Amino acid sequence: MRQFSYLRPTGISDAVAALAAEPTAQLLAGGTNLVDLMKYDVAQPSAVIDINGLPLKEIETLEDGAYRIGALTTNSQVAYDAGIARDVPLLSSAILAGASPQLRNAATSGGNLSQRTRCYYFYDPSTPCNKREPGSGCSAIGGVNRIHAILGASDACIATHPSDMCVALAALNATVEVTGPTGARTIPFLDFHRLPGDHPERDNTLQTGEIVTGIRVEGGRFAAHHSYLKLRDRLSYAFALVSVAAALDLDGDTILDARVALGGVAHKPWRDPLAEAELSGQPATRDTFEAFASRLLSGAKGQGHNDFKIPMAKKAIVRALMQAASGRPQVQSEKRVREGESL
Amino acid sequence: MTRQTRTGPLETADRVIGFPLSRIEGPLKVTGTAPYAAEHQSADMLHGFVALATIASGRIARIDTADAAAFPGVVKIYTHDNRPRTAWWDSAWKDEVALPGHPFRPLENDRVLFDGQPVAFVVANTFEAARDAAALIRITYEADQPKTSIEVESEKSYVPKEKRSGIAPPPSPRGNADEAFAAAPFKLSSNYTLEGEHHNPMELFATTVLYEGEGRLTIHDKTQGSQNSQGYVCGIFELKPENVRVFNTYVGGAFGSGLRPKHQLFLATMAALDLKQSVQLELSRREMFYLTWRPATVQTVKMAADDNGKLTAILHHAVQATSLYEDYQEVVVNWSGLLYRCDNVKLTYELAEMTVSTPGDMRAPGAATGVFALESAIDELSYQVGLDPLDMRVRNFVHVDQNQDLQLTSKALHACYRQGAERFGWEKRLHAPRSMHDGPDLVGWGMATGVWEAQLTEATARARLSADGSVTVSAAASDIGTGTMTILAQIGAEAFGVDAEHVTVRIGDSQLPKTSVEGGSWTAASTGSAVAAAATAVRQTLLDAAKDMDASPFGKDVTVEQTAIRDGRLVLEINDQVGVALTDILASKNLTFIEEEAKVAPDAQQAKKFVSYTHAAHFVEVMIDEELGVIRVTRVVTAVAAGRILNPKTARSQILGGVVMGIGMALHEEGMIDHRTGRIMNHNLAEYHVPAHADIHDIEVIFVEEHDDKASPIGVKGLGEIGIVGIAAAVANAIYHATGTRVRHLPITIDKVFYAKEAAE
């Protein structure tokens, strides 16, 4: 841990100005990730800008039935919000699949988007890591890589994004609201996180000085047919090896619209809109889902220890879609994985 | 949720032996008022932080501490270049339970022997300054090729030249195992692998050294033996034992990790003596991965049976990891010659030298590892023979120790099998793998036997009876979270006829009567017996004094066994109208209290004939989602035969903890090493998995009746380790029964049952 200066702005513009003025500063919200990273000497911010005083703690219902979730709402607040639980249950479920009650009480929505990878090497400053120290190399390639990416990785980085919440938000085509030195803008969720490419040090597409202020997510549409299924190395309190956020809009057993996002497999929540589009008009059957899963994983590449994630992801996709189609979503407090009755 | 079957003498209303008394220090612990080693303060305390090696093998070429030393608040930085001189001979560095080889000496020279080795020690006015400065130390290494793969290094295994004290080497072969194996109609040869497991008790290793003036220290250490720590620092720093007092009053879990002194004790003491100031050093969670660990092990079991399922040959070979500087050893293979009747047995045990820190004892060291292989193998063989796995074990029951040709002091394992199976509902089991279902889930029922040594070690204790009837019992013993304080209070209460709340227990202090380190499940039997003996001695003195009184109601022939203490009076057991008030007896001798000390030790004559073990039968149910591979351990019934149960509540907690740890061994725990660099990569509790609440379901503990008048004077055998031995095998056997897939490589992670084959394609 290094010494840092500490700022506590009370307005968004103050926070933006502080962040823009000091590019090596970092924002502190719930602190559940940043404080760890600072203790491990992975994060070395010159300044910590504590934004907990900003007025971003509300969940608003918008006229079109959508929700605007303030960046400083806690994970618990969102997961147990009556409106979200009713209208956006996929989001509630994904949040409850992650972390522990204590962490969810502290962690925020904006912070969830900005959390860093759990790659063992990223977390250990004594090892080369392009994400932590650009140009130093990727130790995970050829190293211990059980938890690493099978999709969208590069020669520079095979890290995964660890969030559960973001997987649901990706499936739901949420938008991220940000404010920066030049004003406010929105970023489609799928464009918020990025693949590592040659710049794995950049997790997302935020510009210098930009702060996430909120997340907008559509309500109602997939409430009847959704599921968040997470497979991991123990039955709770572990990051996903593979997770699936599945959402279906059905007419009888015919698919009108399908969304599938994968967690634990790539540098960002993974979606394939083209493959999803082809599901429209097809029957919601196991055969349909198996073909879709194979297509989604067709470009997957294992790194050795994580080769099992490829067949695992296929099976998880099928199960999550079966659960969604049958209207029997996985309940996170149930440790038995629901079957998803045949249609 | 867990349930409990109560056996034993619970009818007594007094909170004495047999009563399920809650931990007497429990309220202090749950309110945060029990001070642990790192929670003792003094006004001028300095704080330390350790910089760790980031290579696994090689040497330090250059170490630059200039920036760190200039950091505000830093008092001194120690490296191998400036470390104060200490004792030269290895003998001075050897603690009570040291191993063959050269004990690790922190900051001794420029060599790096293992990942995470302490290479610099920063002392500063605050913890934060020490930690921040440590991050500024720059070290250049010359790295050598690490050796950290047990699969690779086991090819160069060797028989340890010097045996570890207290660890029996494999017995000589009996019969002709190779011939019998070759001739048998049913046989298997299987390899079993255990990845390294790392201790992670709640309390981290920490030492507070209070500097009391020239050469005098009061030390609060996280250890399983205050006197071991005292001897260690006195040896190294040439201090007088009377000037060094070590406390370990409260220990937040240890499980064997604290048997040997750790480098924080050395470093904090070194700095306190050098700077003549109090020093506190608490290690980080990360450092737990570079200390005492359960060594990675590869094992081969060859086992054969005749047409009736009688074992005709057992060959068990194990190779375990050890460090470059010490030969750590466990009893891994001997259990295979002990647990079942077999006349053709060959057991071999070797070590593989690796660039790792020296492994150490971790709950049921050796047995947890070896019995996993043994109990997996006999399970495999039972399917070959076509026998129910429990029946297979019962058919091979043995009443003696064939390894040593000794009788057993007791072995109520039949009762464990019977009562455990009944409670579990084993008779409803369908034999064929993949034949039981619960909805879409596969159901597997597996079982395994557990065994551990019941040992008595030398122990001394003191008991004091005061005129007001209050009782104090004391011994240097440690309570590492097991309930030692509580059972000693109950033993004192029983002896003096008082409620346990009137008994003060003093332990965890090097000035108290000598005991060995707390480990091996021997403390209840050893220190418990010593307390009972000391109490008896007090009562003898009391009776003698009473007999001396004018008009004493006690005749010359009355023995101490014929007396009791009730309501503040020494009375005759058969007629409590006959007696004298304690106050009067003490007053007659002008005493305010009577205090006696007593010592117990193993009976050498008895040891020529008898040996003592605890036993357990574990029954495990798993439910597995066949498509996804998600494994749930839904039910465990563990029946334990461990002699007399002093406190059913703390006893049950010991077994529950062992079972949970065994489930972790089966499914979760694994140090992940990058063999290119020899470094452990999952060195935190986010990525080194132990069971979470969701992984643990119904655990039922049964204590079967087992009378044993030889294992220890108070009939106790010990419970700290038996709960884990065999659990990993029982889980693996249940997974086989559910799926038809035999996994012989722990931990059985989600990928190993269903995805391994597909991923390879």
Residue with tokens 């690493």: A148
Chain B from 695 to 724: CB within 8 A of any A CB: 695
- Per-residue pLDDT averaged across A170-193, rounded? 98
pLDDT tens for residues B18-34?
Answer: 999 999 999 999 999 99
A129, A127, A160, A115: which is closest to A303 by C-alpha? A160
CATH classification of the domain holding B751? 3.30.365.10
Residue with tokens 């994400």: A131
Domain range for B503 is 10-26+456-601
Please state, in angstroms and rounded to a whole number, the distance separating the CA atoms of residues B519 and B506. Answer: 18
What per-residue string of b and e applies to B225-239 under the rule 16 or more CB within 10 Å gives b? Answer: bbbbbbbbbbbbbeb
Q: Are residues B423 and B553 in the same domain?
A: no
**B246: pLDDT strictly greater than 50:** yes
Please state, in angstroms and rounded to a whole number, the distance separating the CA atoms of residues B413 and B502. Answer: 37
CB–CB of B128 and A1 under 8 A?
yes
pLDDT tens for residues B719-734?
Answer: 999 999 999 999 999 9
Percent of chain A whose pLDDT exceeds 70? 99
Give the contacts of B406 (CB within 8 A, at least 6 positions apart): B400, B609, B610, B611
Q: Which of A1-10, A79-88, B326-335 has the lowest mean pLDDT?
A: A1-10
Residue where one domain finishes, among candidates B576, B601, B626: B601
pLDDT the model gives residue B757: 67
B128 touches chain A (CB under 8 A): yes
Q: With contact defined as beta carbons under 8 Å apart, do B52 and A124 qualify?
A: no
Residue where one domain finishes, among candidates B601, B618, B640: B601
CB–CB of B135 and A2 under 8 A?
yes
Give the contacts of B623 (CB within 8 A, at least 6 positions apart): A336, B438, B441, B442, B443, B444, B631, B632, B634, B738
The answer as to whether A19 is a domain residue is yes
Averaged confidence pLDDT in chain B: 95
Q: Which of A99-108, B64-73, B493-502, B707-716 has the lowest mean pLDDT?
A: B493-502
- The residue type found at B386 is G
Percent of chain A whose pLDDT exceeds 90? 97
- Per-residue pLDDT averaged across B98-114, rounded? 97
Q: What angle in degrees, to the nearest 10, is found between the helix axes of B367-385 and B648-667?
A: 70
pLDDT the model gives residue B468: 85
The answer as to whether A121 is a domain residue is no
Q: Are residues B678 and B586 in the same domain?
A: no
- Per-residue pLDDT averaged across B82-102, rounded? 95
pLDDT grade for B573, boundaries at 50, 70 and 90: very high
CB–CB of B692 and A235 under 8 A?
yes
- Cis status of the peptide bond prior to B747, with omega within 30 of 0: yes
Q: Are residues B729 and B645 in the same domain?
A: yes
The answer as to whether B123 is a domain residue is no
Give A231→chain B minimum CA distance, Å. 8
B627 touches chain A (CB under 8 A): yes
Domain range for A28 is 5-50
φ/ψ (deg, to 5) at B601: -150, 160
Confirm whether the ipTM is greater than 0.90: yes
What is each CA distance from A157 to A44, A145, A298, B17, B434, in whole angstroms?
Answer: 21, 11, 20, 61, 41
Could you say which of B135, B687, B694 has the minimum Cβ distance to residue A235? B694
The answer as to whether A65 is a domain residue is no
B291, B437, B286, B284: which is closest to B357 by C-alpha? B291
Concatenating the DSSP letter of every residue in B115-181 gives TT-EEEEEEESSHHHHHHHHTT-EEEEEEPPP---HHHHGGG-B--SSPPTT-PPPPPPBS-HHHHH
A33 touches chain B (CB under 8 A): no
Residue where one domain finishes, among candidates B601, B628, B656: B601
Q: What is the dihedral sign for C-alpha B426, B432, B433, B439?
A: negative
pLDDT grade for B7, boundaries at 50, 70 and 90: very low
Q: With contact defined as beta carbons under 8 Å apart, do B725 and B369 qualify?
A: no
Q: Which of B39, B721, B758, B761 is catalytic?
A: B721
pLDDT the model gives residue B215: 85
Please state, in angstroms and rounded to a whole number, the distance separating the CA atoms of residues A247 and B473. Answer: 66
CB–CB of A234 and B695 under 8 A?
yes
Q: With contact defined as beta carbons under 8 Å apart, do B118 and B54 qualify?
A: no
**B627: pLDDT strictly greater than 70:** yes
pLDDT the model gives residue B13: 44
Q: With contact defined as beta carbons under 8 Å apart, do B225 and B517 qualify?
A: yes
- Per-residue pLDDT averaged across A310-336, rounded? 97
Q: With contact defined as beta carbons under 8 Å apart, do B8 and B648 qualify?
A: yes
**B8: pLDDT strictly greater than 70:** no
CATH classification of the domain holding A30? 3.30.43.10
pLDDT grade for B219, boundaries at 50, 70 and 90: very high
The answer as to whether A21 is a domain residue is yes
CB–CB of A1 and B132 under 8 A?
yes
Both tokens of A12, joined, read 């968004």
| Total domains present in chain A | 2
Give the contacts of B580 (CB within 8 A, at least 6 positions apart): B546, B549, B552, B553, B554, B569, B570
- Per-residue pLDDT averaged across A245-270, rounded? 98
Q: Are residues B756 and B631 in the same domain?
A: yes
- Per-residue pLDDT averaged across B455-475, rounded? 95
pLDDT the model gives residue B754: 83
Q: With contact defined as beta carbons under 8 Å apart, do B207 and B261 qualify?
A: no
The answer as to whether A151 is a domain residue is no
- The residue type found at A278 is E
Please state, in angstroms and rounded to a whole number, the distance separating the CA atoms of residues B139 and B51. Answer: 10
Q: Which of B631, B751, B753 to mutate to test the interface with A (most CBs of A within 10 A)?
A: B751
Q: What is the dihedral sign for C-alpha B360, B364, B370, B372?
A: negative
Q: Are residues B550 and B576 in the same domain?
A: yes
B751 touches chain A (CB under 8 A): yes
| Total domains present in chain B | 2
Q: Are residues B575 and B486 in the same domain?
A: yes
Contacts of A150 in chain B (CB under 8 A): none
A311 touches chain B (CB under 8 A): yes
Contacts of A339 in chain B (CB under 8 A): 439-440
Both tokens of B544, joined, read 């003698």
B685 touches chain A (CB under 8 A): no
Q: Are residues B581 and B609 in the same domain?
A: no
The answer as to whether A109 is a domain residue is no
Q: With contact defined as beta carbons under 8 Å apart, do A155 and A140 qualify?
A: no
Both tokens of A49, joined, read 């800008």
CB–CB of A124 and B676 under 8 A?
no
Q: Which of A257-261, B15-19, B225-229, B400-404 has the lowest mean pLDDT?
A: B15-19
Active site residue B203: no
pLDDT the model gives residue B15: 76
CB–CB of A234 and B128 under 8 A?
no
Averaged confidence pLDDT in chain A: 97
pTM: 0.97
The answer as to whether B258 is a domain residue is no
- The residue type found at A109 is S
Q: Higher-confidence residue: B499 or A231?
A: A231
**B394: pLDDT strictly greater than 70:** yes
pLDDT the model gives residue B6: 35
- Per-residue pLDDT averaged across B680-690, rounded? 97
Residue with tokens 């080194």: B688
Q: Are residues B633 and B670 in the same domain?
A: yes
CB–CB of A235 and B679 under 8 A?
no
Q: Are residues B385 and B485 in the same domain?
A: no
Percent of chain B whose pLDDT exceeds 70? 98
Both tokens of B431, joined, read 């034999």
pLDDT grade for A80, boundaries at 50, 70 and 90: very high
pLDDT the model gives residue B761: 59
Tell me B24's DSSP state.
T
Percent of chain B whose pLDDT exceeds 90? 95
Q: Are residues B460 and B575 in the same domain?
A: yes
pLDDT tens for residues A118-171?
Answer: 999 999 999 999 999 999 999 999 999 999 999 999 999 999 999 999 999 999
The percent of chain A in helix, strand and coil, each rounded to the nearest 5, is 25, 20, 50
Which residues partner with B520 through β-bridges? none
A335 touches chain B (CB under 8 A): yes
Please state, in angstroms and rounded to a whole number, the distance separating the CA atoms of residues A337 and A323. Answer: 10
Q: Are residues B462 and B555 in the same domain?
A: yes
Q: What angle in degrees, to the nearest 10, is found between the helix axes of B750-760 and B727-739?
A: 50
**B5: pLDDT strictly greater than 60:** no
- Per-residue pLDDT averaged across A112-116, rounded? 98
The answer as to whether A164 is a domain residue is no
Please state, in angstroms and rounded to a whole number, the distance separating the CA atoms of residues B392 and B733. Answer: 14
pLDDT the model gives residue B2: 38
The answer as to whether A234 is a domain residue is yes
CATH classification of the domain holding A277? 3.30.390.50
Give A340→chain B minimum CA distance, Å. 11
Q: Are residues B428 and B528 in the same domain?
A: no
pLDDT grade for B469, boundaries at 50, 70 and 90: confident
pLDDT the model gives residue B755: 83
- Per-residue pLDDT averaged across B414-437, rounded? 98
Could you say which of B440, B668, B672 has the minimum Cβ distance to residue A144? B672
The answer as to whether B730 is a domain residue is yes
**B83: pLDDT strictly greater than 50:** yes
Q: With contact defined as beta carbons under 8 Å apart, do A76 and A104 qualify?
A: yes
Give the ranges where B566-620 is alpha helix by DSSP (H).
582-588, 604-607
- Per-residue pLDDT averaged across B162-168, rounded? 96
